[in-house]
């Protein structure tokens, strides 16, 4: 056998060895859930069986593609908004003590506000639409990025900075060549939190004000008692969340391979 293929098989086998308990447990839970519902006579609007959820996913009359698209847009938009604004603010804070003194107390205050409580205000200010929900996601997710960016940029070994000074590097160059790469693992690890927060924010936004989206679907099931649809929406939400999270993890591995296993 070609060694490459053998290596891959070994890798697969070790993955299997590591994860078979997870898979087995999951299958067991699904099966007992199904049995409990169909044999135990639990009414479907209280707890739908896995099969009912499966049906709602593929055969129901919910326009999943449309809702999925809207919510994905909100989540991804929120993520990039939070990442962009967070990094920019973090850089500004690390660059100038004046900016830091001006911004940090304000940001800390904003962060202590329960963002969910602001959502109704967003409705008043911006009405229905994708953007306010995006903003809600960004608002919940940007703070860790600011903090980690600022910390990563400032917590550079003194010796490394001396190294830059020995070669008479200007401040901006030390920033670009030493501080920013040093901050990269910090930023990426904050983005993992942001990926999760963006999901929460978008859904909360949809709960409060929306006419489309997976959060909207869940809200409508409250009155229709169509619980299996709510479960199906949950599955879609977690799929979007997992894909985004996985993308960030992959990015971290690609961009900061030297920091493997830091978070």
Partner 1 sequence: MNKELIGLDRVGMTYEAASGPVEALAGISLSVGAGEFVSLVGPSGCGKSTLLRIVAGLRPATVGTVTVAGRAVREPIPDIGMVFQAPILLKWRSILQNVLLPAELAGKDATALQGRAQQLLDMAGLTGFGDKLPRELSGGMQQRAALCRALLLDPPLLLMDEPFGALDAMTRDDMALELLRIWGERDLAQSARKTVLFVTHSIGEAVFLSDRVVVMSPRPGRIAADLRIDLPRPRTVELRASEAFGRLSLDIFRALTGRVGAAGTA
What SS3 state is found at 66? Answer: helix
Based on the shown chain and the rule CB under 8 A, indicate whether residue 253 belongs to the binding site for partner 1: no
Nearer to partner 1, 43 or 165 (CB): 165
User: Can you tell me which of 58, 117, 159, 211 binds partner 1, judged by CB under 8 A?
Assistant: 159
Based on the shown chain and the rule CB under 8 A, indicate whether residue 166 belongs to the binding site for partner 1: yes
Could you say which residues in the range 180-219 bind partner 1, by CB under 8 A? 181-182, 184
Place of tokens 């904050």: 190
Number of other residues whose CB lies within 10 A of the CB of residue 174: 18
Q: What does the alpha-carbon distance between residue 60 and residue 100 come to, in Å, rounded to a whole number?
A: 53
Are 126 and 189 spatial neighbours (Cβ–Cβ below 8 Å)? no
Based on the shown chain and the rule CB under 8 A, indicate whether residue 85 belongs to the binding site for partner 1: no
Q: Which stretch binds partner 1 (CB under 8 A): 18-26, 138-146, 161-169, 216-224?
A: 161-169
Based on the shown chain and the rule CB under 8 A, indicate whether residue 262 belongs to the binding site for partner 1: no
Based on the shown chain and the rule CB under 8 A, indicate whether residue 152 belongs to the binding site for partner 1: no
Are 136 and 205 spatial neighbours (Cβ–Cβ below 8 Å)? yes
Based on the shown chain and the rule CB under 8 A, indicate whether residue 254 belongs to the binding site for partner 1: no
Could you write out the DSSP letters of every residue in 122-156?
Answer: HHHHH-SSHHHHHHHHHHHHHHHHHHHHHHHHH--
List interacting residues with partner 1 (CB under 8 A).
Answer: 157, 159-160, 162-169, 173-174, 177-178, 181-182, 184, 256-259
């Amino acid at each position: 056998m070609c060694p490459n293929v053998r290596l891959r098989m070994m890798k697969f086998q070790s993955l299997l060895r590591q994860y078979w308990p997870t898979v087995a447990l999951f299958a067991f839970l699904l099966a007992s859930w199904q049995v409990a519902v169909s044999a135990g006579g639990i009414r479907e609007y209280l707890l739908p069986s896995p099969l009912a959820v499966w049906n709602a996913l593929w055969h129901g009359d919910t326009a999943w593609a449309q809702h999925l698209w809207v919510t994905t847009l909100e989540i991804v938009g929120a993520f990039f908004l939070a990442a962009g604004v967070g990094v920019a603010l973090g850089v500004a804070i690390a660059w100038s003590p004046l900016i830091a003194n001006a911004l940090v107390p304000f940001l800390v205050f904003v962060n202590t506000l329960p963002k969910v409580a602001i959502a109704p205000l967003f409705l008043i200010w911006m009405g229905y639409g994708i953007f306010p929900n995006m903003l809600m996601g960004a608002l919940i997710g940007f703070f860790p990025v600011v903090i980690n960016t600022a910390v990563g940029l400032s917590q550079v070994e003194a010796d490394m900075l001396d190294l830059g000074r020995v070669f008479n590097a200007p401040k901006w160059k030390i920033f670009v060549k030493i501080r920013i790469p040093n901050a990269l693992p910090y930023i990426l690890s904050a983005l993992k939190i942001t990926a999760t927060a963006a999901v929460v924010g978008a859904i909360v936004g949809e709960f409060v004000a929306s006419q489309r989206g997976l959060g909207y679907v869940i809200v409508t099931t409250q009155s229709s008692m169509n619980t299996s649809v709510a479960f199906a929406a949950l599955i879609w939400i977690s799929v979007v969340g997992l894909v985004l999270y996985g993308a960030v993890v992959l990015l971290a591995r690609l961009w900061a391979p030297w920091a493997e296993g830091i978070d």
